[in-house]
Amino acid sequence: MEKIIFFTIAFFCVILSSAQNKSRTIYIDIIYPTMTKDTVMIEYQHNGMSLSALEKVKISDSLLNNHFEINPEKDDKIFYLSFSGKKQYFLINYLVEPGDSIQIFVEHAQIQFRGRGSEKYQCRYEMDNINKVFPWQRTHLKYNVNKGELIFDSLYYTNYIPDNKAFQKRQYSAAKCSEEVLKWYKDRLSVYVYNLLLANLYGDVENRIWNSLNIAFNSFVTNVDPIQKKEIQDSLVNIYLNRNVPNFSKIPDSVLAFSHTYLTYLCKGNLRKGGFAEAVSLRKDPSLKKTELELFSENHQGILRDKLITQYLITNFAELPNISNLISYAMKNVSDPESRKLLSSLNHTNTKGSKGFAFNLPDFYGNFRTLNEFRGKVILLDFWFTGCSSCAIMAKNLKPVAEYFKNNKNVIFISISTDERLSIWRKSVIQEIYTNKHSVDLFTEGKGIDHPIIKHYKIKGYPTLIMIGKDSKVITTSVIKPYNEKDKNDLIKLIEKNL
């Protein structure tokens, strides 16, 4: 009798567990009018860890039925989903919860949502439409160029700062209107979802303002009149520091920790690496005694602190020469399991002594080249794509370094392109805009940013340089960028040191 009772209880436990798992499944159906069909792909991230190459998953429906199912793991609280058709995104980072069952009706320029949990989708969509009413970009004011030197006329000089102030005002006005839409939906949303959408709204506008001022600050070449340049750049920093920052304090830390835009905003606001970021940091703390991670640890607690530290390292590791020490610090202070998993992976792939990715990629002539083939050589990997202006600048500055080592068989320069079309990649290689005649040029076989080597090294920006040692292990993922003579010489010395 006892055995019967035991097995009966066990049976019902299994049934209950299965029902609970099914109730957490996320169902997404994308519906087009009449017979129109499109190949839709969705990609998602767990729990708001923005820009995490580890956690971004892509799925598509080869049958063109556009029915998707996502089975959340036990600890998954939220997802951010992006939807694209014909390689054009039409919904970006929409908040999704376990148990949602959504029908997305796409007709021309309009999208409507139905089903369980659809209120937050419709709310976000209407908030986004508000932003379209307000001009996103700054006004492009004209100036003259004489022998490579910018000549500011009175109109340009007079309007540059007011134009940036006006841009900031437009963004805050758009955010205020979007917040009114959110308030209208408040009674139909959970408190958690309402606060998370609000955090994402605030974070988004702060990121837009940062990006705009950062571009404006860094848009001046070195031969601009230094007095005018300093005056304008100081004014841009003042605009940023004197802005009306949204009241994030009314949103609980337990919510902010899952806001991908808030995490990005705080990470940008604590950067120290040159240009606008450095200028802002020096105004806040001229001594810069404390590191970014120390500031995160002092000013935040719990899961928000853990996610900020992790987000900062994942996003900026390529610019941090002491990444190994920073990860060690983080692992001692971070307790959130998901954050620790991401940090552990970063430590395993991107720090000194990590095993290099065993690539097997075709070169310009169709021959497959492997990491093992270059064992015994110091390798400088350069990741790029066609159309990347910064990649072209990097290639130009790398040419003298490659020329210096052209007769040294123990040094190899390898360029790896994320171009998806073979013809475009081949044309770029021939033109030597992004490569040089001394490099081995490899193609990611049309997989682009989805290729395993890109995911392995968690590359999120281009160009990216990675140095591999003679033992096929990582020397550094924060390679000196040779933008001036000193840095070119330092890069040469670093290569020679590891021969």
**Per-residue tens of pLDDT for the chain, all 499 residues:** 555 554 455 444 444 444 445 588 989 888 877 555 556 666 766 655 544 444 566 666 656 677 888 888 777 788 888 877 665 667 888 988 999 999 988 877 788 999 999 999 999 999 998 877 776 555 554 455 554 444 455 445 556 777 788 888 888 999 999 999 999 999 999 999 999 999 999 999 999 999 888 888 877 655 566 777 788 888 888 999 999 899 999 999 999 999 989 998 988 877 777 688 888 888 877 766 778 888 888 889 999 999 999 988 888 888 887 888 889 999 999 999 888 988 888 888 888 899 999 999 999 999 999 999 999 999 999 999 999 988 999 999 999 999 999 999 999 999 999 999 999 999 999 999 999 888 999 999 999 888 999 989 988 889 999 999 999 999 999 898 888 889 999 999 999 999 8
Q: Clarify whether residues 180 and 94 are in a common domain.
A: no
pLDDT at 51: 41
Cα distances from 314 to residues 311, 340, 437, in angstroms, run 5, 12, 33
pLDDT at 220: 63
pLDDT at 172: 92
Closest residue by Cα to residue 467 from 426, 446, 445, 497 = 497
Number of H helices, E strands in the chain: 16, 17
Q: Clarify whether residues 380 and 458 are in a common domain.
A: yes
Q: Clarify whether residues 104 and 173 are in a common domain.
A: no
Q: Clarify whether residues 478 and 391 are in a common domain.
A: yes
Diameter of the chain measured on Cα atoms: 97
480 lies in some domain? yes
Q: What is the DSSP string of 417-450?
A: E--S-HHHHHHHHHHTSSS-TTSEEEE-TT-GGG
Which amino acid, residue 190? S
Task: Please state the domain count of the chain.
Answer: 3
Q: Clarify whether residues 152 and 63 are in a common domain.
A: no
Q: Clarify whether residues 491 and 444 are in a common domain.
A: yes
285, with CB counted inside 10 A (0-12, 13-18, 19+), is: exposed
Q: Clarify whether residues 365 and 480 are in a common domain.
A: yes
431 lies in some domain? yes
Closest residue by Cα to residue 161 from 80, 64, 240 = 240
138 lies in some domain? no
Q: Clarify whether residues 284 and 392 are in a common domain.
A: no
101 lies in some domain? yes
Residue 243 DSSP class = S
DSSP H or E segment with residue 486: helix 485-497
Query: What is the torsional sign of CA 84, 85, 90, 96?
Result: negative
* Exposure on the CB side of residue 142, measured as CA atoms within 13 A: 1
pLDDT at 130: 85
The model scores a pTM over 0.75: yes
128 lies in some domain? no
Q: Is the separation of the CB atoms in 285 and 74 below 8 Å?
A: no
Q: Is the separation of the CB atoms in 335 and 305 below 8 Å?
A: no
Residue 325: CB atoms within 10 A of its CB come to 13
pLDDT at 286: 72
308 lies in some domain? no
Closest residue by Cα to residue 259 from 243, 270, 248, 269 = 248
- φ/ψ region of 387 (left if φ > 0, alpha if ψ in -120 to 50, else beta) reads left
227, with CB counted inside 10 A (0-12, 13-18, 19+), is: exposed
Q: Clarify whether residues 181 and 284 are in a common domain.
A: yes
Token pair 């902010």 is at which residue? 256
325 lies in some domain? no
Q: Which residues of 439-471 are buried (b: 16+ CB within 10 A; e: fewer)?
A: bbbbbbeeeebebebbbbbbbbebbbbbbbbee
Angle at 118 (CA atoms; ends 112, 120), nearest 5 degrees: 100
179 lies in some domain? yes
Please say which residue of 116, 136, 168 terminates a domain. Answer: 116
Q: The domain that contains 56 carries what CATH number?
A: 2.60.40
Q: Which residues contact 239 (CB under 8 A, 6 or more apart)?
A: 161, 164, 165, 168, 213
pLDDT at 376: 94
Q: Clarify whether residues 258 and 368 are in a common domain.
A: no
Please say which residue of 266, 288, 310 terminates a domain. Answer: 288
pLDDT at 200: 95
Cα dihedral value 395, 51, 309, 300, nearest 10:
130
Residue 436: CB atoms within 10 A of its CB come to 20
Domain membership of residue 32 as a residue range: 23-116
Q: Clarify whether residues 112 and 154 are in a common domain.
A: no
pLDDT at 14: 43
pLDDT at 190: 94
Q: Is the separation of the CB atoms in 124 and 95 below 8 Å?
A: yes
Cis peptide before 463 (omega within 30 of 0): yes
Closest residue by Cα to residue 261 from 24, 477, 50 = 50
Query: By three-state DSSP, how is residue 405 classified?
Result: coil
Please say which residue of 96, 116, 136 terminates a domain. Answer: 116
Cα(447)–Cα(454) distance, integer angstroms: 10
Q: Clarify whether residues 156 and 97 are in a common domain.
A: no
